[in-house]
């Protein structure tokens, strides 16, 4: 047998016990006394020969006893061997769960051989070494941890493994380990066999250790990664700005030559470009963003075809109506009108009125309130107009009394309450992101240059998205009981802040309207995520490749599982909404986990690595049963030899 490792190498600290038989032998010899004896000349030659043979048999008995101690210590160390063991030497009733990584990265390949092929070959070798009475279940290591087979004989499990194929999903080996642990909690001799390419994000990417297994199962890793990894293009960041009409792409290309990317709309190529690659493989590309939906970025052919397409959601705001409740001559309104006009390029339409009729409210997708004086009838109309999918952006002005806007906020279901106007003093205050932060599309860095001279102090139970001076709420993003709400507490009046003169103004206004107009948001998801919408907003869901899903309704929310990349189209009262799902970017990074990091993440797990491909080796199948059998044979030999020697002495 080719020994390549031990599960418990600390057991070899007991090896000095092998000297115990020799110490006992020496102590016995010291008890004998030398007695003078007459001449031995009368002894025959035959008696001398018998004495010498008796001496040799005693030494052989000592050697057998010493070897028995060494073998028993080796059994405690649980040796592992590379190569197959006969089934009768493996645990007869072992229960095992095979985790076969079926995520998208397992489709990566070179020369017609994929990581999935290598994994299947390695698992076949390991399963052949299990006892005939073993029971094996198979689960997927991709997101969702699908069960590929229940507990069956090793041969049936091998057939389930052979039928498995990579899915368009991210990797979740940590989740699969937890599922396998639950399956083996009551099992005898539990074993988990995990076959994966073990790329950087396979165990979650957080760097934290995997939790200790309750079943105390031994984990055998089958490395299926191709060495070196195939060349691949990774989408690191894709930002579509409908406001600027630009598409910005950041990525990484590990192959030779420039990175080549094309933009498709409705299946037709509308733009092709290439970019030089830096030393670390990164590149950046900018291109014009066409209007409409069904946009898709496509990479050049590489080692992983499943991630070559990057789908973009619809531009969301295209053709949407904003109802503005504000006086035309109020302070800051001219600057607001200019900003709203600039948003027409992003698809927004708007109408200003202080007396909205039923038709205005019905056509509006979002309501913007910036009136310098709110009358009670207008408060009632606006409060009743907001609902699921149709929210409001409230910009509190300088002049009006806070109680009027507090009644409006209460009617909108907001938890915010205006307290008093604050004068910043000689040194204007700055806007800073709150603990939850804002996405890069909000241009929070530019917002940080805004100088706030006056603002409304408000009571709000949680930190706001933007804070004033790092202390008071400035910009509140809220999902109230009535609908989505955005609250600006620094106004647009130049005497309150200089935001209206900053480049960040139209950007923040655009994002605020998108947040309040829930149906107007362009949404991006990862394959495996769940799309949730209010029941009133959602009809059916058209899935990639045709067909539809009804969804699951609970607590007035409808949910759909986005199980693969592509476009998902939701129909509802706000029209058609296009959501896009893509593979997580970490799935495209085919570089393997560093051995030190892998060991750190599995520090609380009893694990060993098994070679799966040519040239790789590691601890394999347990050989303790074979050594225990050897110890029993040595015990039988020692007993026979001891009885023989005792008989000779008595004779």
Same domain for 606 and 541: no
Same domain for 262 and 131: no
- Return the number of other C-beta atoms located less than 10 Å from residue 650's C-beta: 6
- Would you say residue 118 lies in a domain? yes
Question: pLDDT tens for residues 106-121?
Answer: 999 998 899 999 999 9
Report whether pLDDT(179) > 70: yes
Share of the chain above pLDDT 90, in %: 34
Q: What is the pLDDT of residue 164?
A: 95
Q: Residue 139 corresponds to which tokens in the numbers above?
A: 């689960």
Q: What is the pLDDT of residue 307?
A: 92
Report whether pLDDT(166) > 70: yes
Q: Residue 459 corresponds to which tokens in the numbers above?
A: 């009571």
Contact 424, 497 (CB under 8 A): no
Q: What is the pLDDT of residue 613?
A: 35
Same domain for 452 and 325: yes
Question: pLDDT tens for residues 418-467?
Answer: 999 999 877 899 888 887 666 666 666 677 788 999 999 999 988 888 99
Q: What is the mean pLDDT of residues 211-233?
A: 92
d(CA 573, CA 442): 27
Place of tokens 């002049």: 399
Of 272, 289, 312, which residue is a domain's last?
Answer: 312
Q: What is the pLDDT of residue 520?
A: 56
Same domain for 527 and 514: no
Q: What is the mean pLDDT of residues 138-163?
A: 93
- Would you say residue 12 lies in a domain? yes
Same domain for 509 and 370: yes
Helical ranges in 305-436 per DSSP H: 333-342, 358-363, 376-385, 402-411
Q: What is the mean pLDDT of residues 14-22?
A: 83
Q: What is the pLDDT of residue 235?
A: 94
Same domain for 506 and 466: yes
Q: Residue 473 corresponds to which tokens in the numbers above?
A: 């709420």
d(CA 345, CA 520): 15
Q: What is the pLDDT of residue 5?
A: 66
Contact 651, 643 (CB under 8 A): no
Same domain for 164 and 62: no
Q: Which domain holds residue 570?
A: 523-582
Q: What is the CATH number of the domain that holds 578?
A: 2.60.40.420
d(CA 217, CA 127): 16
Report whether pLDDT(33) > 50: yes
Report whether pLDDT(648) > 50: yes
- Would you say residue 39 lies in a domain? no
Q: What is the pLDDT of residue 36?
A: 63
Same domain for 364 and 396: yes
Same domain for 335 and 301: no
Q: What is the CATH number of the domain that holds 280?
A: 2.60.40.10
**How far out from the chain centre does Cα 347 lie?**
35
Q: Which residue has the higher pLDDT, 537 or 250?
A: 250
Q: What is the pLDDT of residue 54?
A: 67
- Would you say residue 420 lies in a domain? yes
Report whether pLDDT(293) > 80: no
Q: What is the pTM of this model?
A: 0.71
Same domain for 638 and 543: no
Q: What is the CATH number of the domain that holds 469?
A: 3.40.50.880
For the chain, the domain total comes to: 5
Contact 382, 369 (CB under 8 A): yes
Give the CA-trace dihedral at 405, 411, 413, 418, to 10 degrees. 20
d(CA 262, CA 315): 19
Report whether pLDDT(370) > 50: yes
Q: Mean pLDDT across the chain, nearest whole number?
A: 83
Q: What is the pLDDT of residue 539?
A: 72
Question: pLDDT tens for residues 332-360?
Answer: 888 999 998 888 877 788 899 999 988 88
The DSSP secondary structure of 84-137, one letter per residue, reads ---GGGS-TT-EEEEEE--SGGGG-EETTEEHHHHHHHHHHHHHHTS-TT-EEE
Range among 11-15, 193-197, 572-576 rated most confident: 193-197
Q: What is the mean pLDDT of residues 508-537?
A: 77
Place of tokens 């293009």: 233
Report whether pLDDT(15) > 90: no
- Would you say residue 334 lies in a domain? yes
Per DSSP (E only), the strands in 384-528 are 392-395, 417-423, 429-433, 451-452, 454-459, 466-468, 472-479, 484-488, 523-526
Q: Which residue has the higher pLDDT, 266 or 6?
A: 266
- Would you say residue 38 lies in a domain? no
Q: What is the pLDDT of residue 446?
A: 72
Produce one character per residue of 308-346: b if its CB has 16 or more CB atoms within 10 Å, e if not. Answer: bbbbbbbbbbbebbbbbbbeeebbbbebbeebbebbeeb
Same domain for 257 and 207: no
Question: For 318-332, 395-409, 487-501, which range has the lowest pLDDT when averaged over its residues?
Answer: 318-332
- Would you say residue 104 lies in a domain? no
Confidence of residue 249 (pLDDT cuts 50, 70, 90): very high
Same domain for 441 and 572: no
Confidence of residue 614 (pLDDT cuts 50, 70, 90): very low
Q: What is the pLDDT of residue 130?
A: 79
For residue 495, what are the CA distances in angstroms to 371, 372, 424, 492? 16, 14, 11, 8
Report whether pLDDT(612) > 50: no
Q: What is the pLDDT of residue 615?
A: 31
- Would you say residue 55 lies in a domain? yes
Residue 254 class from Cβ within 10 Å (0-12 exposed, 13-18 middle, 19+ buried)? buried
d(CA 319, CA 298): 27
Q: What is the mean pLDDT of residues 304-320?
A: 79
Q: What is the mean pLDDT of residues 541-551?
A: 83
């Amino acid at each position: 047998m080719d020994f390549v490792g031990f599960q418990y190498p600390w057991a070899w600290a007991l090896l000095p016990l092998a000297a115990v038989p020799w110490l006992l032998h020496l102590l016995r010899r010291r008890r004998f006394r030398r007695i003078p004896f007459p001449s031995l000349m009368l002894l025959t030659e035959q008696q001398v020969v018998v004495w010498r043979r008796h001496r040799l048999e005693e030494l052989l008995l000592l050697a057998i006893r010493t070897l028995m101690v060494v073998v028993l210590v080796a059994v405690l160390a649980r040796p592992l061997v590379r190569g197959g063991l006969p089934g009768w030497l493996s645990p007869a009733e072992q229960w095992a769960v095979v985790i076969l990584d079926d995520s998208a990265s397992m489709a990566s390949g070179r020369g017609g051989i994929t990581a999935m092929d290598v994994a299947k070959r390695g698992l076949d070798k390991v399963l052949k070494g299990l006892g005939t009475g073993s029971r094996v279940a198979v689960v997927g290591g991709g997101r969702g941890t699908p069960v590929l087979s229940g507990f069956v004989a090793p041969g049936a499990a091998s057939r389930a493994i052979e039928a498995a194929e990579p899915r368009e999903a991210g990797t979740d080996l940590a989740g699969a380990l937890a599922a396998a642990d639950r399956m083996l909690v009551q099992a005898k001799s539990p074993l988990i066999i995990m076959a994966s390419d073990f790329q950087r994000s396979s165990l979650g990417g957080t760097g934290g250790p995997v939790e200790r297994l309750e079943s105390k199962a031994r984990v055998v890793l089958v490395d299926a990664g191709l060495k070196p990894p195939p060349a691949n293009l990774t989408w690191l960041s894709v930002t579509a700005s409908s406001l600027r009409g630009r598409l910005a792409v950041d990525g990484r290309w590990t192959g030779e030559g420039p990175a080549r990317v094309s933009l498709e709309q409705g299946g037709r190529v509308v733009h092709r470009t290439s970019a030089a690659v830096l030393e670390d493989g990164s590149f950046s590309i900018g291109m014009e963003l066409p209007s409409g939906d069904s946009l898709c970025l496509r990479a050049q052919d590489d080692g992983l075809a499943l991630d070559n397409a990057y789908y973009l959601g619809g531009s969301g705001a295209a053709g949407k109506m904003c109802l503005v409740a504000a006086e035309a001559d109020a302070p800051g309104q001219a600057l607001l009108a200019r900003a709203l006009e600039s948003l027409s390029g992003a698809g927004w339409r708007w109408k200003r009125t202080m007396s909205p009729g039923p038709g205005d409210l019905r056509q509006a997708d979002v309501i913007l309130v910036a009136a310098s004086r709110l009358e009670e009838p207008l408060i009632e109309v606006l409060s009743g107009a907001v609902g699921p999918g149709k929210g409001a952006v409230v910009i509190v002005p300088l002049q009006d009394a806070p109680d009027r806007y507090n009644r409006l906020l209460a009617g909108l279901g907001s938890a915010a309450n205006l307290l008093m106007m604050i004068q910043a003093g000689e040194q204007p205050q700055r806007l800073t992101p709150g603990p939850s932060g804002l996405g890069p599309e909000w241009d929070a860095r530019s917002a940080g240059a805004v100088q706030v001279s006056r603002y409304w102090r408000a009571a709000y139970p949680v930190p706001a998205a933007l804070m004033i001076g790092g202390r008071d709420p400035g910009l509140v993003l809220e999902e109230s009981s009535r609908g989505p709400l955005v609250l600006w507490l620094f106004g647009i009046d130049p005497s309150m802040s200089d935001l209206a003169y900053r480049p960040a103004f139209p950007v923040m206004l655009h994002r605020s309207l998108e947040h309040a107009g829930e149906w107007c948001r362009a949404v991006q998801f990862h394959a495996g995520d769940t799309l949730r919408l209010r029941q009133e907003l959602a009809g059916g869901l058209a899935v990639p490749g045709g067909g539809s899903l009804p969804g699951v309704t609970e607590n007035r929310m409808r949910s759909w599982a986005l199980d693969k990349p592509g476009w998902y189209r939701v129909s509802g009262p706000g029209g058609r909404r296009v959501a896009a799902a893509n593979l997580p970017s970490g799935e495209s990074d085919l570089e393997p986990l560093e051995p030190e990091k892998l060991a750190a993440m599995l520090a609380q797990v009893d694990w060993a690595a098994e070679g799966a491909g040519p040239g790789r080796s590691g601890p394999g199948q347990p050989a303790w049963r074979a050594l225990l059998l050897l110890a029993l044979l040595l015990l039988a030999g020692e007993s026979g030899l001891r009885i023989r020697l005792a008989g000779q002495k008595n004779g």
